[in-house]
């Protein structure tokens, strides 16, 4: 690791974080990736920030130089944001977890994969390391993770201090400064960082672009989104493009698979903005040459197929809401920049289901991610029929 700094312990909060179910605020768009409809859980048992640092350090130390852990930025509250990189291949896979700090299975799954790829001498691991450059950013929004909530910890006044041109502008629409989804933001407000992305990676915030809306781009006004954007640009500079970008989230606990009575284990998606090559996506036409919807669909088909494993809960995979227009999400912005993109939405907030279920859900994420890593490494994902994406059952909300 390049840099370590001590962070005051926030462990005393953990015991108190038991939320009661609460309806999503009316102004929260229904089709909002990672918006659970209720939350009733504890975070005890999940990897916290301090443990993440320890685990990453250990993974790097025991990897024989295979895993490179770096500090790539700091959160608004000064916590380091880490990337862990492995492999020498020219196909790039970037995966982040906990952009919403209360959506935690992705971090566990990434740590398991890093541990395996960093230490295994199997031909399976070697093949992935040879063909791919895998970059993981676990807990990309660590302040939200430590508060176990969706939004980061930052006030509009802090935004204006960083961007004086926004003096007098209306705070962005995704600013949380009241009670929302079981969390009271009135004393320590924050923002949904997953609406702060802009497909123009060089965009600088302008007052006339506020307060914005869910169907308009974000502004890169937060250190967490800036950190991922800068990493994305660095990878583009190094490799020409970021082939695949995956964002790991959670959704409501009791959605159903199509018309069945089965609970959805995980939803996936390839669609976050209207296709720039279509009439609906005309406003994104300048990105039309980059956009690779078929590759995103191939990735989703590979994930779906790998998770169809006999009669098990792993089978219960659906498509997340389609027809979205969310250019302020990391997925929407990076899809317009040419990455194959996949959304993972695991059911519930996990701990409410107990340890066994938590393990099963983490395993679901891991299995889905391996479908991508293996399929890109052996080339099979490029042979998938993208139209099979349309056969994946829809989520019944
Ligand atoms: Zn989310």
- Strands 395-396, 256-257: pairing is antiparallel
Selection from 95, 88, 139, 131 nearest residue 113 by Cα: 95
pLDDT, position 10: 27
The CA–CA distances, whole Å, from 287 to 179, 204, 325 equal 37, 18, 14
pLDDT, position 43: 57
Whole-number Å distance, alpha carbon 224 to ligand 1 midpoint, is 15
Structural domains of the chain in order of their starting residue, each with its CATH number = 11-396 (3.40.630.10)
Distance from C-alpha of 256 to C-alpha of 225, rounded to nearest angstrom: 32
Whole-number Å distance, alpha carbon 4 to ligand 1 midpoint, is 28
Distance from C-alpha of 219 to C-alpha of 311, rounded to nearest angstrom: 45
pLDDT, position 77: 98
Whole-number Å distance, alpha carbon 141 to ligand 1 midpoint, is 11
Distance from C-alpha of 18 to C-alpha of 15, rounded to nearest angstrom: 7
Distance from C-alpha of 218 to C-alpha of 250, rounded to nearest angstrom: 21
Largest pairwise CA distance in the chain = 59
Distance from C-alpha of 288 to C-alpha of 312, rounded to nearest angstrom: 40
Whole-number Å distance, alpha carbon 354 to ligand 1 midpoint, is 20
Distance from C-alpha of 347 to C-alpha of 264, rounded to nearest angstrom: 7
Selection from 170, 173, 175 nearest residue 151 by Cα: 175
Tokens read off for 322: 């389609």
Whole-number Å distance, alpha carbon 105 to ligand 1 midpoint, is 11
Whole-number Å distance, alpha carbon 343 to ligand 1 midpoint, is 9
Is there a contact between 154 and 176 (Cβ–Cβ < 8 Å)? no
pLDDT, position 381: 98
Whole-number Å distance, alpha carbon 191 to ligand 1 midpoint, is 13
Whole-number Å distance, alpha carbon 268 to ligand 1 midpoint, is 12
The DSSP string of 350-378 is SGGGHHHHHHHHHHHHHHHHHHHHHHHHH
Whole-number Å distance, alpha carbon 120 to ligand 1 midpoint, is 31
Distance from first CA to last CA of the chain, Å, rounded?
43
Contacts of 337 (CB under 8 A, 6+ apart): 199, 201, 232, 236, 242, 287, 290
Distance from C-alpha of 383 to C-alpha of 60, rounded to nearest angstrom: 34
Distance from C-alpha of 391 to C-alpha of 334, rounded to nearest angstrom: 25
DSSP, collapsed to helix, strand or coil, labels residue 91 as strand
Tokens read off for 116: 């395996």
Whole-number Å distance, alpha carbon 118 to ligand 1 midpoint, is 28
Q: Which residue has the tokens 């069945």?
A: 260
Whole-number Å distance, alpha carbon 246 to ligand 1 midpoint, is 12
Whole-number Å distance, alpha carbon 389 to ligand 1 midpoint, is 22
Residues forming beta bridges with residue 183, ordered by sequence position: 180
* pLDDT by 10s per residue, the chain, length 397: 544 333 333 222 232 233 323 333 333 333 344 444 333 344 567 899 999 999 999 999 999 999 999 999 999 999 999 999 999 999 999 999 999 999 999 999 999 999 999 999 999 999 999 999 999 999 999 999 999 999 999 999 999 999 999 999 999 999 999 988 788 999 999 999 999 999 999 999 999 999 999 999 999 999 999 999 999 999 999 999 999 999 999 998 889 999 999 999 999 999 999 999 999 999 999 999 999 999 999 999 999 999 998 777 788 999 999 999 999 999 999 999 999 999 999 998 645 667 778 889 999 999 999 999 999 999 999 999 999 999 999 999 8
Is there a contact between 52 and 76 (Cβ–Cβ < 8 Å)? no
Sign (positive or negative) of CA dihedral 71, 246, 226, 242: positive
Whole-number Å distance, alpha carbon 97 to ligand 1 midpoint, is 9
Distance from C-alpha of 56 to C-alpha of 71, rounded to nearest angstrom: 11
Helix axes 105-119, 354-378, angle to 10 degrees: 50
**Overall size of the chain counted in residues:** 397
Distance from C-alpha of 61 to C-alpha of 200, rounded to nearest angstrom: 37
Q: Which residue has the tokens 């961007």?
A: 163
Whole-number Å distance, alpha carbon 328 to ligand 1 midpoint, is 13
DSSP, collapsed to helix, strand or coil, labels residue 41 as coil
pLDDT, position 9: 30
pLDDT, position 89: 98
């Amino acid at each position: 690791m390049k840099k370590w700094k001590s962070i005051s312990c926030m462990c005393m909060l953990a015991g108190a974080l038991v939320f009661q179910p609460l309806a999503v605020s009316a102004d929260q768009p229904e089709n909002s990736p990672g918006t659970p409809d209720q939350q009733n859980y504890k975070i005890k048992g999940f990897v916290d920030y301090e443990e993440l640092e320890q685990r990453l350090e250990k993974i790097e130390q025991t990897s024989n130089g295979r895993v490179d852990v770096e500090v790539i930025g700091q959160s608004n509250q000064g916590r380091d944001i880490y990337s862990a990189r492995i492999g020498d291949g020219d196909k790039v896979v970037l995966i982040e977890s906990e952009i919403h700090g209360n959506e935690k299975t992705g971090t566990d799954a990434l740590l398991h994969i890093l541990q395996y790829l960093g230490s295994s001498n199997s031909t399976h691991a070697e093949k992935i390391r040879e063909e791919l450059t895998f970059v993981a950013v676990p807990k990309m929004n660590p302040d939200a993770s430590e508060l176990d909530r969706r939004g980061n910890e930052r006030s509009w006044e802090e935004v204006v201090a960083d961007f004086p041109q926004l003096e007098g502008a209306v705070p962005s629409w995704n600013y949380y400064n009241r009670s929302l989804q079981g969390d009271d933001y009135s004393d320590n407000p924050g923002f949904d960082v997953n609406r702060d992305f802009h497909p123009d990676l060089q965009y600088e915030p302008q007052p006339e672009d506020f307060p914005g809306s869910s169907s308009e781009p974000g502004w890169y006004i937060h250190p967490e989104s800036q950190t991922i954007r800068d990493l994305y640009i660095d990878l583009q500079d190094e490799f020409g493009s970021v082939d695949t970008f995956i964002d790991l989230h959670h959704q409501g606990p009791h959605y159903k698979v199509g018309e069945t009575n089965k609970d959805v284990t995980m939803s996936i998606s390839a669609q976050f903005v209207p296709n720039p090559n279509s009439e609906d996506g005309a406003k994104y036409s300048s990105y039309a040459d980059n956009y690779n919807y078929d590759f995103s669909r191939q990735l989703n088909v590979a994930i779906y197929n790998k998770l169809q494993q006999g009669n098990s809960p792993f089978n219960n995979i659906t498509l997340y809401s389609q027809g979205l227009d969310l250019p302020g999400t990391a997925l929407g912005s990076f899809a317009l920049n040419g990455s194959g993109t996949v959304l993972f939405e695991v059911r519930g907030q996990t701990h409410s289901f107990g340890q066994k279920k938590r393990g099963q859900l983490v395993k679901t994420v891991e299995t889905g991610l391996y479908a991508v890593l293996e399929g890109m490494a052996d080339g099979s994902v490029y042979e998938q029929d993208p139209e099979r994406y349309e056969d994946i059952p829809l989520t019944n909300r």
